[in-house]
Structure 1
Amino acid sequence: MKEGNFMKTWKKVGLGTVTIASVALLAACGSSSSSSSEKGRAPQLAIPTDISTLDSTMATDTYSNIFIGNTEEGATRVAANGKAEPALAESVESSSDGLTYTIKLRSGLKWSNGDALTAKDFVYAWQRAVNPATGSQYAYLLANIKGANEIMAGKAAPSTLGVEKVSDTELKVTLTQPTPYFEYLLAESVYYPLNQTFVEKYGKSYGTSSEKTLYSGPFVFKGKGWTGTNESFELVKNDNYYDKKNVKSDEISYQVVKKPETAVQLFKQGKLDQASLGTPDLYNANKGYTKNAKLVDLKEATTDYIQYNQTGKGTSSAVAAKALQNKNIRTALNLATDRATIVAQTTAGSKVATGLTPAGMARTSDGTDFAEYAKQPYTYDATKAKEYWEKGLKEIGETKVTLTYETDADSVTAKQMADFLQTSLSKALPGLTINEKIVPFQQRLKDSQNHQFDMVNTLWGGDYAEPSTFLALFTEGSGYNDGGFVNKAYQAAMTKASTLPNVTNDDARNADYKDAEQALYDEASINPIYFRTTPALRNPNMVGLAFHGTGLSYDLKSVYIK
């Protein structure tokens, strides 16, 4: 997940068989003797930036989704073992041809305000998501439901979507093609039910605060909760949740801590139960800290990459627009990127990217990590970079180019990476000047969505453990192609992967995905930097915190202080 804008034209994206490989239950094993001040208290956690929205149809970022995924729920929920299991649904059954799903809901489901939660709430939510007027960026995850693409293209009414209420507790879903991982999609927030009366009561302000949101999941916000601007709030157990007996904590405390150094200090003061060590300095200074601490590795299915604005507009200058539309200049920038040094100097435990799809997320039929199977020769070669650069400058009729590099002010790693690139790229490519534009996370998202940048640093975390959660980002009509590039070979490969017969053949589909990775490399469409792993200090008395590399990053249902 985590960013982008809605596009008014859509292309059906097929996504293949899922293989969960990057989900771990991070239940630390500490001493069995807990102090009376620890036992039973609320876990204390933090996020590094503000919540954007609680609207499950509209959310696009990881941090908002943590709260949406723990206060709301779908037909299924991905368990700590990585499998999609029934949640609000009692059962999910597929027809023999894989085109029809019957979802039977649990009886007696309720919203947090006591209203009955029924099949019509799913129908309404899904129709709302694919309605172009809504502007849901994640609507593409419903693309394989019959009629979705026509609706998203404005060619059909939302009511024609292939989902119908059979009864208050039963839904029938019709797909356009087999989707073997459909039960995993049902766990995505865009598939969560919505109470139509409540949503329409607040209209566009729905989800802008906790009081303007209705809940179906394990937790609700305490009191006024999140007001839209505050940076500390508590979650409490939802008394109307069907499985409340298995929610381990009565309350969970959260705060926004934007500086990782501050988070580490709060951890050492006993005011946080986990703190990330995402920079080399933080990691080296604290990796040996053992006082009420355990070091864990959060292996994320996340890729950091740079997008180039190839739309011809929205750039800092006409020269910048012309330069970034030139393949040789983009190739030069990719070759001049010293990824190994970036990883060593700005991250702790991450790996150099060899493509868009991260390592450790999905495997081929013979067990090979897909990232290894499809890796591309993204290398650092200053000599070749200069050759391509000079050739590109000649083609665009310029001797100097100034480009602006945009990234997050909320991330120390992002700022350090910007400083390194500003110096190293200018040194490797004579005539290039890099200006930094360091903005808050939300501003970076907005600029990316509106194509208002030259080069922008982007991180994408997978939504399900299958390569298309990354490789479908730039397909025709996708809302995530912030650089606006057109790559015919890439599009052709993804079209083959998403249609019969390849969509149901793992080997054929993976071969198509590999072709897509190669096409992105050949055209220097993007610049992958690293696959992210984040070490963290954790209170060993905090147990049951499920961390998922894809989808909902933290599942709080089972976490508690022992």
Structure 2
Amino acid sequence: MKTWKKVGLGTVALVSVAVLAACGGSKSSSSRNPQLELTTDISTLDSATLTDTYSGEITGNTQEGLTRVNNKNVAVNAFAKSIKESSDGLTYTITLRDGLKWSDGTALTAKDFIYAWQRAINPATGSAYAYLLSDAGHIKNAAEINSGKIKDLNQLGAVAKGNVITVTLTQPVPYFKFLLAEPVFYPVQKAAVDKYGKQYGTSSAKTVYSGPFIFKKNAGWTGTNESFSLVKNPNYYDKKDVKSKEIDIQVVKNPNTAVQLFKSGKLDETPIASPDLYAANKDYNGGKDYVPLKEATTAYIEYNQSGKGTSNPTAAKALQNKDIRQAINLATNRKDLVSQFYPGSTPATGFVPANMAKTQTGEDFSKYAAQPYSYDVAKAKTLWEKGLKEIGATKVNLTYTTDADKPVAKSTADYLQTSLAKALPGLTITERIVPFQQRLKDSQTQNFDMVMSLWGGDYAEPSTFLNLFLPTSGQNDGKVNNPAYVTAFNKAATLPDVLDDAARNADYKDAEKALYEEASFNPVYFRTTPSLKNPDLKGLTFHGTGLNYDFKSVYIKK
């Protein structure tokens, strides 16, 4: 989703957090509401079923978890008064604060967390993030319930007694407190779900809130509108530290429009991610408004290896062929593509992005585990011809799917369409430009040949990326089948390696190597988003992983 932080045992480091700040400015600001933007529509307010960054951003500011990641990237207690971990790392005893309330004034209790977790892990809910409870969180019986092997939701290893939640894990999880800050771990009010049924979360009026903000009456989200306002939640336990009474938000899909709104004082922060916008505006106001946001985000092309849902039968055969996938990877000129279309970003050398996690020696993990993804047309052509013979074809037509919401996506599609066809004789790329939400849906249902995807880390530890292609992952859209990768990841995730930083990192490196050798996917770039920010906008915390923007402390300087 870009959606979503880790601290580890030993020396595993956290991704850096930038509290957006700058000196000087192009305009003065009187006391007013912060004016923020989303670049794409949100799709839901249901913390169990959301899958995208934008829905996660709004949900993360209107709901609260047992922990919340602060501006120093530490998972601090939120609804939890205390969190005690057993000596073997398998039991967490969590005591809630007294007097917690929902936005409607009713009591928020430990049972609301258990209900939320059982609902998320229930396969009938279809939560793509259920894996954070099972594969990442290793809560007892979570995987078995989610697979349907166990039908009784009460068998989940989490129980409530009074204001205490006891969680039982099947193995130690060094980053468990960071998982507790994720949306899928937020409490959910059962009465609201019972009342609204499948409509729960489809509009602001059909959701009950627990976080620092709620939607303003008569200025909420209807499910389709592109502007709404958040106001301070009077029932939030920490309302004294919520700095703004109101925040106004609008969806601005055209980046040129967003820049003009920024310059006219109608937005307080906006990305300038396209090459033209970056070149024209990075020195705006003497460069004083420029802020580069280093994200823990990787853009990558997924190949549909399921054998189903492709645009034609030959495409299905081609994408299941390792030589053909390797040929496309080798024919992808990452350096040129990034230099032309993604200012500030860097060519990807694996799945785990730069500046997110460090090894036990302090080395950036992405550098430690870098694979030799390269641009080699001659080798690509050889493998391409070999692969065509193996599938009994002389030509292949592949559809490339990407978002319609961002102009640079079309430019990237054009570039790949031309460059790949030139490098690989007999290859035709057909562009399929669809709205963001449609792209997500098509990815999840394997209705694609190749699709450009982005993943933002949920927590700052390599597993937040490297667990995506597991057979049980709800994010394995291409249905990657790579036994060597699975073996390496499972070794990292289980004893004894899970508690040994050096061994765990070596296993993760082996997982990256396995993905490279099988061309299981095509990593393209590690994203940095150049932005403009009003210097009078204070306290807007940007996280490279998890909740991108935390509104709790944001305000306009008087």
Same fold per superposition (TM over 0.5)? yes
Aligned length in residues: 548
Q: Answer with 59-68 or 16-25: which moved more.
A: 16-25
1:513 paired to 2:508: yes
Query: 2:353: which partner in 1?
Result: 358
Query: 2:85: which partner in 1?
Result: 94
Instruction: Choose from 197, 208, 211 the match for 1:214.
Output: 208
Shift of 1:15: 11
* Distance of aligned partners of 1:15 and 1:218 in 2 relative to their CA distance in 1, 3 Å threshold: closer
Matched residue of 1:527: which SS?
strand
Counterparts of 1:524-535 in structure 2, within 5 Å, are: 524-535=519-530
Query: 2:68: which partner in 1?
Result: 77
| CA distance in structure 2 between the partners assigned to 1:218 and 1:531 by the alignment | 31
| CA distance in structure 2 between the partners assigned to 1:58 and 1:459 by the alignment | 18
Query: 2:148: which partner in 1?
Result: 154
Q: Answer with 288-297 or 210-219: which moved more.
A: 288-297
Matched residue of 1:290: which SS?
helix
Shift of 1:34: 8.3
Matched residue of 2:402: which SS?
strand
Letter in 2 for 1:342: L
Q: Answer with 78-87 or 288-297: which moved more.
A: 288-297
Shift of 1:2: 4.5
Q: Deviations over 1:486-540 (max 9, x none)?
A: 1111011011111111111111111110000000000011000000001100000
Shift of 1:482: 0.9
Shift of 1:40: 2.4
Letter in 1 for 2:305: Q
| CA distance in structure 1 between the partners assigned to 2:345 and 2:279 by the alignment | 14
Contact 1:22 1:300 in 2 (8 A): no
Instruction: Choose from 102, 112, 119 the match for 1:121.
Output: 112
Matched residue of 1:485: which SS?
coil
1:457 paired to 2:462: no
Matched residue of 1:42: which SS?
coil
| CA distance in structure 2 between the partners assigned to 1:325 and 1:16 by the alignment | 36
| CA distance in structure 1 between the partners assigned to 2:175 and 2:318 by the alignment | 41
Query: 1:177: which partner in 2?
Result: 171
Instruction: Choose from 476, 490, 510 the match for 2:471.
Output: 476
Shift of 1:402: 0.8
| CA distance in structure 1 between the partners assigned to 2:330 and 2:446 by the alignment | 24
1:193 paired to 2:187: yes
Q: Answer with 21-30 or 149-158: which moved more.
A: 21-30
Query: 1:43: which partner in 2?
Result: 34
Contact 1:89 1:106 in 2 (8 A): yes
| CA distance in structure 2 between the partners assigned to 1:147 and 1:71 by the alignment | 30
Query: 1:393: which partner in 2?
Result: 388
Letter in 2 for 1:129: A
Query: 1:55: which partner in 2?
Result: 46
Matched residue of 1:446: which SS?
helix
Query: 2:264: which partner in 1?
Result: 269
Shift of 1:112: 0.3
Counterparts of 1:394-413 in structure 2, within 5 Å, are: 394-413=389-408
Q: Deviations over 1:290-336 (max 9, x none)?
A: 07951101100000000111111111111111111111111110000
Relative to the length of structure 2, the TM-score reads 0.96
1:142 paired to 2:119: no
Letter in 1 for 2:498: V
Contact 1:47 1:255 in 2 (8 A): yes
Matched residue of 1:356: which SS?
coil
Counterparts of 1:299-378 in structure 2, within 5 Å, are: 299-378=294-373
* Distance of aligned partners of 1:15 and 1:548 in 2 relative to their CA distance in 1, 3 Å threshold: closer
Q: Deviations over 1:2-58 (max 9, x none)?
A: 48xxxxxxxxxx996553123222233447x985xx232100011111111000111
Letter in 1 for 2:210: S
Instruction: Choose from 214, 236, 240 the match for 1:241.
Output: 236
Relative to the length of structure 1, the TM-score reads 0.95
Q: Deviations over 1:55-104 (max 9, x none)?
A: 01111110001110000000000000000001111111111111111111
Structure 2: gaps spanning 5 or more residues: none
Contact 2:15 2:545 in 1 (8 A): no
- Runs of 4+ aligned residues of structure 1 deviating over 4 Å after TM superposition are 14-18
Contact 1:295 1:538 in 2 (8 A): yes
Q: Deviations over 1:276-298 (max 9, x none)?
A: 01011110010111079511011
Matched residue of 2:92: which SS?
strand
Contact 1:407 1:414 in 2 (8 A): yes
Query: 2:250: which partner in 1?
Result: 255
| CA distance in structure 2 between the partners assigned to 1:413 and 1:22 by the alignment | 27
Letter in 2 for 1:280: P
Contact 1:56 1:189 in 2 (8 A): yes
Shift of 1:117: 0.6
Letter in 2 for 1:275: T
* Distance of aligned partners of 1:102 and 1:227 in 2 relative to their CA distance in 1, 3 Å threshold: same
